[in-house]
């Protein structure tokens, strides 16, 4: 999968894309990441990429000409790729949206800056608009990193046999169950007996129950969106009794 990132600050991406899962995915040639400096498409000798907003007000706005030229240059090379803007007004990034984006042949991610981009660029070129949440970042670069990371781990072959995107939080709509490793006792707390039993069915049931418990306690809104199985309902009833102090 091709990721083309249009940014005013390409240097910000050096560290995050050279480590861990993304680095391995690049080495396996499962993904390709190209950085494009928007200023390279500026039409003046000062490589101006922003200007004061019409109507006045604080801050600057990213100019239409260099941004449009940059998008068109990359789109000409990768006509099947989807142009994605990073913006607080976009769709909030979720596991479902990351899985949707992972089905695309490529993404052209435009990193907003300052007060935003000239709205005409959004109207003419944007095919999707993604936000990390209801807060404002200094620019879209961090959002672009998050999109690339979330999408990359869902591409077949990226994660090894010891890793699984399906078992991650939100993979099945629930928060992930708690994890433990050696030693068996730490700080006066012990590993749950089910995980030490060697009984695969007991371990599976414990993990499902704890996923339901964590989701119920921390993100009950997620439960309301799921079609729960008969086993899930039984486990939730057990959790209710346990939390109420019953047997």
Indicate if the pLDDT at residue 228 is higher than 70.
Answer: yes
Q: What's the whole-number mean pLDDT along residues 3-24?
A: 94
Q: Of 53, 88, 178, 192, which is the active-site residue?
A: 88
Q: Of 128, 168, 172, 176, which is the active-site residue?
A: 168
Q: What's the whole-number mean pLDDT along residues 7-28?
A: 94
State whether 194 and 147 are in the same domain.
no
State whether 194 and 103 are in the same domain.
no
User: CA quadruple 5, 97, 105, 20: dihedral positive or negative?
Assistant: positive
Looking at residue 92, what is its pLDDT?
96
State whether 143 and 196 are in the same domain.
no
Among 108, 137, 152, which residue terminates a domain?
152
Average pLDDT, the chain: 93
Domain range enclosing 201: 185-243
C-alpha distance from residue 82 to each of 23, 45, 130, 199 (Å):
23, 30, 12, 46
Assigned domain for 160 exists: no
Establish whether 168 is a catalytic residue.
yes
Looking at residue 219, what is its pLDDT?
93
What gap in Å lies between CA 77 and CA 177, rounded to an integer?
43
User: Residue 247's pLDDT band (boundaries 50, 70, 90)?
Assistant: low
State whether 12 and 122 are in the same domain.
yes
Q: Are 90 and 45 in contact (CB under 8 A)?
A: no
Q: What's the whole-number mean pLDDT along residues 192-206?
A: 96
Q: Which of 22-36, 155-169, 190-204, 206-220 is predicted with the least confidence, judged by mean pLDDT?
A: 155-169
Q: Of 65, 115, 129, 238, which is the active-site residue?
A: 115
Among 127, 152, 177, which residue terminates a domain?
152
Domains in the chain: how many in total?
Answer: 2
Q: Which of 24-28, 150-154, 157-161, 226-230 is predicted with the least confidence, judged by mean pLDDT?
A: 157-161
Assigned domain for 234 exists: yes
Establish whether 88 is a catalytic residue.
yes
State whether 13 and 104 are in the same domain.
yes
- Angle at 172 (CA atoms; ends 170, 174), nearest 5 degrees: 55
- 131: domain CATH number is 3.40.1280.10
State whether 96 and 206 are in the same domain.
no
Assigned domain for 36 exists: yes
pLDDT digits (tens, 9 = 90+) for 83-93: 999 999 999 99
Establish whether 129 is a catalytic residue.
no
State whether 130 and 37 are in the same domain.
yes
pLDDT digits (tens, 9 = 90+) for 155-176: 999 997 545 665 565 768 899 9
State whether 111 and 190 are in the same domain.
no
Assigned domain for 132 exists: yes
Assigned domain for 75 exists: yes
State whether 121 and 21 are in the same domain.
yes
Indicate if the pLDDT at residue 146 is higher than 70.
Answer: yes
Among 134, 152, 170, which residue terminates a domain?
152
State whether 148 and 189 are in the same domain.
no
pLDDT digits (tens, 9 = 90+) for 19-75: 999 999 999 999 999 999 999 999 888 999 999 999 999 899 999 999 999 999 999
Looking at residue 231, what is its pLDDT?
97
Establish whether 115 is a catalytic residue.
yes
Task: Give the predicted TM-score (pTM) of the model.
Answer: 0.88
């Amino acid at each position: 999968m091709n990721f083309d990132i249009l940014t005013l600050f390409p240097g910000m991406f050096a560290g995050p894309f050279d480590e861990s899962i993304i680095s391995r995915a690049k080495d396996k040639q499962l993904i390709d990441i190209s950085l494009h400096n928007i200023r390279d498409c500026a039409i003046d000798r000062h490589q101006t990429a922003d200007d004061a907003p019409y109507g006045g007000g604080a801050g600057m706005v990213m100019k239409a000409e260099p941004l449009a030229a940059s998008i068109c240059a990359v789109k000409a090379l990768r006509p099947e790729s989807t142009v994605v803007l990073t913006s607080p007004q976009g769709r909030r990034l979720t596991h479902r949206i990351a899985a949707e984006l992972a089905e695309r042949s490529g993404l052209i991610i435009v990193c907003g800056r300052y007060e935003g981009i000239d709205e005409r660029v959004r109207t003419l070129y944007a095919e999707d608009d993604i936000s990390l949440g209801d807060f404002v970042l200094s620019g879209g670069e961090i959002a672009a990193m998050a999109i690339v990371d979330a999408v990359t781990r869902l591409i077949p072959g990226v994660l090894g046999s010891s890793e699984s995107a399906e078992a991650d939080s939100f993979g099945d709509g629930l928060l992930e169950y708690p994890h433990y490793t050696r030693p068996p006792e730490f700080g006066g707390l012990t590993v749950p007996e089910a995980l030490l039993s060697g009984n695969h069915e007991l371990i599976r049931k414990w993990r499902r129950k704890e996923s339901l418990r964590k989701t119920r306690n921390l993100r009950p809104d997620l439960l309301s969106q799921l079609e729960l199985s008969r086993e899930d309902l039984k486990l939730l009833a057990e959790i209710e009794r346990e939390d109420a102090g019953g047997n």
